[in-house]
Amino acid sequence: MQTRIPILLFVCFLSFSCVDYVKVIESKTRIAFVERFDNDSNKWEPVHSKEFLVENTEGFLHIEKFKKNRVSNGCLWYHRTFDCLNTSKDFEISFDAKFISFDDIYNALDIQWGNLDSVSYQLSVCTDGRLSLKKFDRFAKSRWTNIASNESPGLVRFNDFNRIQIIQLNKKCVIFVNKIQVFKENIDCDGNQIGFQECLRVSWAFDNLEIRSPITDGRI
Across the chain, which distance is largest between two alpha carbons, in Å?
66
pLDDT on residue 1 = 42
Is residue 14 scored above 70 in pLDDT?
no
pLDDT tens-place string over residues 152-197: 999 999 889 999 999 999 989 999 999 999 999 999 899 999 999 9
Q: Which helix (H) or strand (E) holds 9?
A: helix 4-14
pTM of the model: 0.88
CATH C-level class of 18-214:
mainly beta
Please check whether residue 175 is in contact with residue 149, taking contact to mean a CB–CB distance below 8 angstroms: no
pLDDT digits (tens, 9 = 90+) for 92-123: 999 999 999 999 888 999 999 999 999 999 99
